[in-house]
Amino acid sequence: MEKGGAESSIACARCGKPASLQCPKCAQLKLPREGAAFCTQDCFKEAWSSHKSVHIKLDALTLQQTPEGWQYCLKKGRTRTSQLPRFDWTGPLRPYPISKMRVVPDKIEKPDWALDGTPKIEPDSDLQKRVEIKTPEQIERMRETCRIAREVLDAAARIIKPGITTDEIDIVVHEETVARGLKEYDMLTLLSLVSRKLEDGDIVNVDVTVYYKGVHGDLNETYFVGNVDEASKQLVRCTYECLDKAIAIVKPGVRFREVGEIINRHASMSGLSVVKSYCGHGIGELFHCAPNIPHYSRVWHDRLWPDEWTAVTADGKRSAQFEHTLLVTETGVEVLTARLPSSPDVFPWLKP
């Protein structure tokens, strides 16, 4: 902590008492003392988990306003570099430089994590410890939001082919979302951090999260790019089937672990394994909340790239993922992000 001047009118950002100490990071960034002053070291330590978001927010704003062109991403987009990061890479995939952060119009309502990727309310919410039973009004908002998310994902799927860059996919997702926002919706979409030209034989996962009317809708799918080898076809189809089989058992009274047992059993029978680092999660007004739904027993290890976002398998082998937002009903389950009659015909096993 740095000692400030004799400004007795400055109040502690945490407790409101007269403050003479200032956050050193705020001083380095030349931020105003209001909101950066503290009365004691203890107050500063207690406030740190929420106060540090001020620095991240400024970094993100600076990043958005700097005409730096295409650079490699670090720290979930909060830092960028012109040099490929040093890392013990696995497999053939490497990060590519990405374009500048895309601007969401001010008129569109945003969640508290929109600018810097750090949720403010979510970590300390009691919904991390108890499962929220949604009201009919919340459910209707979720239905609308999830349908929009599905439409946006479908728009991205339609352009996937060899030669398209992941940045172009990002543009489609952004523009499809914002266009709806400018017409009648208030929403924000979570966008990717890697830009690369798709090659024949690739598989690519597109993950869309839409924020609309104060709630989130979340889904993703893995797509084939051109002519894909049989092992990759089996991987993607088995992953799709794992989710499908898990959804089929969802109803009141089913234990969380049973979902993971179904998924793990089907993956194992196909000679595949499940990555343990991620799991299903509750969703609503918060992006992530209780319950956490493990989908594994025997596991496969993964590694996180220097961007602190891209997860790859430890041995460099391919992985696939599918995700839906589900509503548990009195008699079973409603898939809020289900494919529509207008969804592109991209999965051979769904053809009649």
pTM, entire model: 0.77
- Asked whether residue 145 is domain-assigned, the answer is yes
Q: Are residues 188 and 325 in the same domain?
A: yes
Q: Distance between CA 277 and CA 282 in Å, rounded? A: 16
What pLDDT is recorded for position 9?
65
Q: Distance between CA 101 and CA 90 in Å, rounded? A: 27
Q: Which of 20-24, 290-294, 295-299, 324-328 has the lowest mean pLDDT?
A: 295-299
Residue 76: which of 207, 190, 239, 232 has the closest Cα? 190
| Chain position carrying tokens 């999660």 | 281
CB atoms within 10 A of CB 347: 18
Q: Are residues 41 and 170 in the same domain?
A: no
Helix (H, G, I), strand (E, B) or coil at 337: coil
> Which CATH number belongs to the domain containing residue 300 in this structure?
3.90.230.10
Query: For the segment 148-193, what is each residue's pLDDT rounded down to a tens digit?
Result: 999 999 999 999 999 998 888 988 999 998 887 644 444 444 444 4
- Asked whether residue 148 is domain-assigned, the answer is yes
- Asked whether residue 280 is domain-assigned, the answer is yes
- Asked whether residue 3 is domain-assigned, the answer is no
**What average pLDDT score do residues 18-29 get?**
80
Q: Are residues 139 and 284 in the same domain?
A: yes
Query: For the segment 25-64, what is each residue's pLDDT rounded down to a tens digit?
Result: 777 666 677 778 888 888 888 887 777 766 655 554 444 4
Q: Are residues 38 and 160 in the same domain?
A: no
258: left (phi over 0), alpha (psi -120 to 50) or beta: alpha
- Asked whether residue 93 is domain-assigned, the answer is no
Question: Residue 306, exposed/middle/buried by CB under 10 A (0-12, 13-18, 19+)?
Answer: middle
CA angle 101, 206, 217 (to 5 degrees): 85
- Asked whether residue 245 is domain-assigned, the answer is yes
Residue 208: which of 160, 156, 140, 165 has the closest Cα? 156
Strand partners, 80: 73
* Residue 345 reports pLDDT greater than 80: yes
Domain count, the chain: 2
Q: Are residues 270 and 132 in the same domain?
A: yes
- Asked whether residue 82 is domain-assigned, the answer is no
Q: Distance between CA 130 and CA 267 in Å, rounded? A: 30
- Containing domain of residue 36, as a range? 11-45
- Asked whether residue 314 is domain-assigned, the answer is yes
Length of the chain: 352
123: left (phi over 0), alpha (psi -120 to 50) or beta: alpha
